[in-house]
Amino acid sequence: MQYYSLQDPQHKASFETAVIQGIAPDKGLYFPEQIPSLDPEFITHLHTYTDQEIGYEVIRPFIGDEIPEAALKKIVNDTLHFPFPIQKVTGHTYALELFHGPTLAFKDVGARFMAGCLGYFRRSSNRPVTVLVATSGDTGGAVASGFYNVPGVDVVILYPSKKVSTLQEKQLTTLGGNIRALEVQGTFDDCQRMVKSAFLDADIQSHRQLTSANSINVARWLPQMFYYFLAYKQMKAAHPRLVFAVPSGNFGNICAGMMAAAIGLPVSHFVAATNINDTVPRFMQNGQYEPGKAVPTLSNAMDVADPSNFVRVLQLFGNSLPALKEKFTAYAYTDKDTARTMEQVWKEHHYMLDPHGAVGYLGLQQFLAEAPELTGVFLETAHPVKFEDTAPKAVRDEIHTPPRVMSLYGKEKNATLLPADYDAFKNWLMR
C-alpha cells in the first residue's frame, strides 16, 4: 500500500517509509492511497474468528507485502494479547473496555503494533532510530512499555510537567534502559510543537534518525481499527445498528473507527465527545476551524486544542462538512459534567468510569436521546485508577488498583526538566 501526504497528494511513500518518517517531509500526515474493502462474508462471520485473526485480516491490506505474513501475524498476536471486553452499563449503553493492556490505556495497542513494525523494518540496520513522542499522559506510558528493550530503538518522551497523573508519570519515568523522559515546563501543545519542530530540523536529522510515535504515525493510527471490529464481534448477535461514542483528543482513535467503517464495518454513526477543548464541536457547528489554547481538564489525555488527526477525518469524507455530518456528531462537556457523571453512573449502575470514559458516556447518552433505536457503545479508554488523584471524592475510595500497578508507586522517577523552549530541547538532542 502506498501512502500520500495530505499536504501534497503527489508526495507518496511506502508503508515502511511512512512508519519510519512518521510525518511527510512537507509536514503532511500520511493517508492510504486506496481505501480497501473487506469481504462482506468476513464481516458476516466475524464471530467465528479469533481476535488475532480479525486483526490480521483488517490490517493486512494497509501493509500489502511489505511485512511477510508470518512476521505480521506475530506482530498482531503480540499486540492483541489481552482482552477487550464489552460490559453492559444500562439500557442500550455498553462500554468497550480498552484498558486491560500493560499500561491500562487503549494506546497500548497502537504503541505495541508500531513497535513491532519498527522492530521488523530495523531488523538488519545498525544505525539506531530515535522515537520522539509528545504525550498528554497516556501515549508516553504506552510507547515506553511497547518499545522497552526493542533493539535499535531509543525513545524520548516529552510530557507537560504537573499535567499528568502520578501513575502516568511513573509509567513514563521509571523504566530506564532505552526510554528517556523529558519533563517540559509547559502544556501538551508546547511538547507537540517542540517535537514537530525537531522533525523539520536538518541539524537534528543529520545527528540522529528520528521517527514519531504519536497517533499521526500510520502504524499507531490504523491498528486502532481493531477495537471497533472486536466490539462488533461481541455485539453482533443481538444489536446490529451501532453507534460508537469516542472520547477524543487528537482524534486518532475515532478516525480509525471511521476508517473501519470505510473498509466495511457496519456502523450507523460516530460521536466524538471532547472536554472543553472543543475545537471540533465548534467546527461542526459553524464550519470554522479555530484552535484555541489547550486548557487543562480532568480528562487530561484529551487536552488538545489542535487535534492532528482531524484532517484525516475530513479526508475520509472528501473534505465535505455536510457529508461528514451524516455520519459524525461532536459534543463537548465540562469537568463538572464529567465528575457528576462518574458519581451518577457509579451510584445508579455500579460501573466505574474514568474521566475520559465519562465524557464518552455523556456523548453517547446525548446522541441516543435523539436516536433511541440505536445501540450505543462508548469506548472506556483508560482504567479509572490512572486518574484516581482527581476522581470525585464520592467515588475515589471505590476505585480498585490492579495488583500489577501497585509496584510502580514505589519506583523512582527519572526525568530531565526542560523549559518549553525549542533551543533547550535541541541542545539536549544534539548532545
Ligand X SMILES: *Cc1c(COP(=O)(O)O)cnc(C)c1O
Q: Which stretch binds ligand X (CB under 6 A): 119-127, 147-155, 227-235, 245-253?
A: 245-253
Q: What is the DSSP letter of 357?
A: H
361 binding ligand X? (CB under 6 A): no
- Binding residue count for ligand X, defined by CB under 6 A: 16
Among residues 156, 302, 353, 391, the one that binds ligand X under rule CB under 6 A: 302
Binders of ligand X among 77-106, rule CB under 6 A? Answer: 105
253 binding ligand X? (CB under 6 A): yes
Catalytic (active-site) positions: 107
Binders of ligand X among 381-420, rule CB under 6 A? Answer: 381-382
Q: Which of 129/316 has CB closer to ligand X?
A: 316
281 binding ligand X? (CB under 6 A): no
Cβ 99 to ligand X shortest distance, Å: 8
Among residues 130, 161, 212, 250, the one that binds ligand X under rule CB under 6 A: 250
Among residues 172, 231, 301, 342, the one that binds ligand X under rule CB under 6 A: 301
Cβ 282 to ligand X shortest distance, Å: 16
356 binding ligand X? (CB under 6 A): yes
3-state secondary structure 278-338: CHHHHHHHHCCCCCCCCCCCCCHHHCCCCCCCHHHHHHHCCCCHHHHHHHEEEEECCHHHH
Angle, helices 138-147/107-121, rounded to nearest 10 degrees: 40
Q: Quick one: CA dihedral 6, 9, 11, 17, positive or negative?
A: positive
CA dist 130 → 100, 152, 197, 381, 429 (Å): 28, 9, 15, 27, 10
β pairing state of 153-160 and 375-380: unpaired
Residue 205: all three cell numbers together: 536529522
Rounded Cα distance, 257 and 265, in Å: 9
- Phi/psi of residue 160, nearest 5 degrees: -75, 125
Rounded Cα distance, 36 and 313, in Å: 16
Cβ 247 to ligand X shortest distance, Å: 5
Binders of ligand X among 104-133, rule CB under 6 A? Answer: 105, 107
Q: Which stretch binds ligand X (CB under 6 A): 69-77, 243-251, 411-419, 420-428?
A: 243-251
- Summarize as ranges the residues that interact with ligand X (CB under 6 A): 105, 107, 138, 215, 247-253, 301-302, 356, 381-382
